[in-house]
Amino acid sequence: MITKSIEKEILTKLELPPTSVILSAGSKFQILAPNIPKVKNLIEELQIQIDAWLLERYMGEISFHLASVNLSPKDLLLNEKNIIPLKNKQKICTKH
């Protein structure tokens, strides 16, 4: 439930449609968003807000980490050459 709320908050603040969510399962989500400073700043601001709220509400028992990775249009071309690099970039986000 927390995950879905955070996902919706990001979509709302970035004025993105629900179709920007490319994965939402298992307490994780991936959003395809523009690679612009506004998005990076929002992620940093939201992480601070989430940390403060979870600390106050759950006294440090729960944490939630936002991560991002830069992709180029070339990264999104799904062919034999790009499958492995794209998966490697996805792994960068899941290590946090």
What does each of the 96 residues of the chain score in pLDDT, given as a tens digit?
889 999 999 999 999 999 999 889 988 898 999 989 999 999 999 999 999 999 999 998 999 999 888 887 777 776 666 555 666 666 666 655
Integer Cα distance of 43 and 35 in angstroms: 12
pTM, rounded to two decimals = 0.77
DSSP 9-74: HHHHHHT--GGGEEEEETTEEEE----SHHHHHHHHHHHHHHHHHHHHHHTTS-----------GG
Domain count for the chain, please give it.
1
Domain carrying residue 62 = 2-67
Residue 82 belongs to some domain of the structure:
no
Residue 27 resides in a domain: yes
Query: Based on the number of CB atoms within 10 Å of its own CB, is 95 exposed (0-12), middle (13-18) or buried (19 or more)?
Result: exposed
